[in-house]
Amino acid sequence: MSMDTRRIDPEDVLLLAADTARVVLESGGETYRAEDAAQAVCSALGGAEAECFATPTGIQLSFTGFDGRVHSIVRRVKKRSMNLERLSRVNDLARRLYAGELDFDGAARELDLTERRPGYPLGVSLAAAATGTGFFTLLFGGGWNDALVAAAVGALLSRVTRILARRQISDFFTNIAGGAAAALLCLAAEHLGLAASADTTIIGVIMLLVPGVAITNAIRDTIAGDLVAGVARGADAFMAAAAISIGSGGAFELWRRLFPGTL
Amino acid sequence: MNAALGLVWAAVATAGFAVLFELHLREVPLAATGAILGWGVYTLSGGEGGTAVACFAAAAAVGVYAELLAALRRRPAAVYIVCAIIPIVPGGGMYYTMLASVRGDLAKSLELGFRTLQAAGAIAAGLAVSSAIARLISLERLARRLGGRREKPRI
């Protein structure tokens, strides 16, 4: 096996390793995991002195091939979303390749399958969004009627943000629109007597957008010594929170002007 | 709100988010159990006010649980952490901080912002401590003894 791996074109190894790291980052994996995965792929396939530098928005990777030349590649990471099944599959791929349970072709095929793997069907995702937002509203002290409103708005919001993301609308605008829509719908529900407290309902719905995990990961990256990645993730979380509150703050203001005295 | 009921709400809400994050259906109950653990520790250590100590303790508990599962189920610990940590993560704090600053209430925004950063820092520290513990006592070896499969290089 060791003889075979040495004959794989270093350029192919480079592409496989960079794509592995890219999928880790696109699926919401930690920075060090992306770097470790790329290095594992390189050294499993005969690359020496593999070094990878990853940030949330890009990857730089280089190693010395069996031909004694240094090969390197730069990859941008454009879309990031949480996909935990994809993350564990790509992690497993790198691990098995490193352990010698997979060869180059197997790993390339596995990566391709992982990337094209369909997620949960639409109905399941909508039900999941409704469950998550509804029960968070209960957890934050809302009543059952608040939870029902939050579930309905949450399902709608998750669908709309997914469509906007697919149309490549920027996260910033998506979050402004999402924050505004969530606030307006919840205020309307309160006004119509469907929900008891718009505030609790809004915070349950907003959990879909809010970067709580992102700010925690930013600090985790910083603690782990990935300073550039940590600062970048912090900026990402900060901008997301700012956009959501610009949206919902604007919606509150609009409501105050349209229906004076109801807030 | 009844404390036991809170655990149920946290578990179900986490299960919803786990599916939204495309976690495999087999792993969803494990993630929800982690949320019960985290939320339980959080409320027991007086977390409703969002104190750093409660965040730290809850995150450390979730972290150890996730590291143990990671070794047993051979998936990255992050898979369980991301889900189980959601109820205690200061998403609401980020939102209220920014909302206060959008409305021009600088003092409130600063206070909330500081508390949010404190909570996030405490959670991150709790997770860092648990992963250090996992490396020290080698949970993987423990997991192997508990019936996990054979040890693999850690990636």
Assess whether pLDDT exceeds 60 at residue B154.
Answer: no
Q: Report yes or no on B83 lying in a domain.
A: yes
pLDDT of residue B138: 65
Name the least confident of A125-129, A170-174, A222-226: A222-226
d(CA A206, CA A136): 10
Q: Report yes or no on B152 lying in a domain.
A: no
Binary contact (B9, A138; C-beta < 8 A)? yes
Beta bridge partners of A75: A59
Binary contact (A83, B21; C-beta < 8 A)? yes
Interface test with B, best of A216, A223, A244, A254 (most B CBs within 10 A): A216
DSSP characters over A109-132: HHHHHHHH---S-HHHHHHHHHHH
pLDDT of residue B48: 63
Q: Output A8 or B123, whichever has higher pLDDT.
A: B123
pLDDT of residue B38: 94
Binary contact (B102, A87; C-beta < 8 A)? no
Burial of A67 (0-12, 13-18, 19+ CB in 10 A): exposed
- Owning domain of residue B123: 3-145
Q: Report yes or no on B77 lying in a domain.
A: yes
Q: Report yes or no on B154 lying in a domain.
A: no
Q: Which residues of A touch B21 (CB under 8 A)?
A: 28, 82-84
Q: Report yes or no on B45 lying in a domain.
A: yes
d(CA B17, CA B104): 32
Assess whether pLDDT exceeds 60 at residue A3.
Answer: no
pLDDT of residue B150: 43
Average pLDDT over residues A221-241: 90
pLDDT of residue B149: 46
Q: Report yes or no on B55 lying in a domain.
A: yes
Pairing of strands A48-55, A70-76: unpaired
pLDDT of residue A127: 95
What ipTM is given for this predicted complex? 0.89
- Number of independent structural domains in chain B: 1
pLDDT of residue A86: 95
Interface test with B, best of A245, A253, A256, A263 (most B CBs within 10 A): A245
Q: Report yes or no on B153 lying in a domain.
A: no
Query: What type of residue is A65?
Result: G
Q: Tell me the shortest Cα–Cα distance from B22 to chain A, in angstroms.
A: 5
d(CA A64, CA A74): 16
Assess whether pLDDT exceeds 60 at residue A2.
Answer: no
Q: Report yes or no on B126 lying in a domain.
A: yes
Q: Which two tokens stand for residue B37?
A: 């653990």
Assess whether pLDDT exceeds 60 at residue A232.
Answer: yes
Question: What pLDDT band is residue B153 in, cutting at 50, 70 and 90?
Answer: very low
Tokens 């006004």 -> residue: A191
DSSP characters over A50-106: EEEEEETTEEEEEEE-TTS-EEEEEEE-------HHHHHHHHHHHHHHHTTSS-HHH
Chain B, window 14-43: residues with a beta carbon less than 8 angstroms from a chain A beta carbon: 14-24, 27
Task: Give CA A135 to chain center in angstroms.
Answer: 22
Interface test with A, best of B12, B98, B130, B131 (most A CBs within 10 A): B98
Binary contact (B19, A203; C-beta < 8 A)? no
Q: Tell me the shortest Cα–Cα distance from A246 to chain B, in angstroms.
A: 6
Q: Which two tokens stand for residue B93?
A: 């704090």
Question: What pLDDT band is residue B151 in, cutting at 50, 70 and 90?
Answer: very low
Q: What is the pLDDT of residues A109-145, one digit of tens each?
A: 999 999 999 989 999 999 999 999 999 999 988 889 9
pLDDT of residue B148: 46
Q: What is the pLDDT of residues A77-100, one digit of tens each?
A: 988 888 999 999 999 999 999 888
